[in-house]
Amino acid sequence: MAKIRVMLTCNLLDLGGTEKAIQIFAKYLDKSRFEVFACGRWRGGVRVAELEKMGIPVILQPPDITKLVRDLKIDIYHISRAGDYEPGSLPEKA
C-alpha cells in the first residue's frame, strides 16, 4: 500500500509552539504509513535542522504552494497558524 503523503506547514519553522507541534507530529507519525514533508511558508529557523536530522524533507519559501502540493503529490496539506485566512496559504483546487 502506498504511503499517505503529508505536508506539515506553518509560516516559520522557528522556536514557537506551533513549530514545536509540527516537529512532534513529524517525529511521531507512523513512517510505515506516512511520508512526511515540512514547509516554512515565509522562512525557516531552528526547527529546520531538527526536522532534517529526522530525515524529514523541508521546503522553505515555496513560490507557488499549489504547484508544490501537486508536484509532490501531497495527500494531506496540514496548516498550523494563528489568525484569519491568509491568501496563498491554501492550494487551489486540483
- Please report the domains of the chain, with CATH numbers, ordered by start residue: 4-79 (3.40.50)
pTM recorded for the entire structure: 0.87
What are the strands of the beta sheet with 58-60, ordered from one edge?
58-60, 34-40, 4-10, 76-79
Name the residue with higher pLDDT: 94 or 47.
47
Q: Tell me which residue has cell 529557523.
A: 45
Supply the pLDDT for residue 63.
92
Q: What is the pLDDT of residues 6-32, one digit of tens each?
A: 999 998 999 989 999 999 999 999 999
Query: C-alpha dihedral over 80, 86, 88, 91, to 10 degrees?
Result: 50
Residue 52 in contact with residue 76, Cβ under 8 Å? no
Alpha-carbon span 94 to 81, nearest angstrom: 23
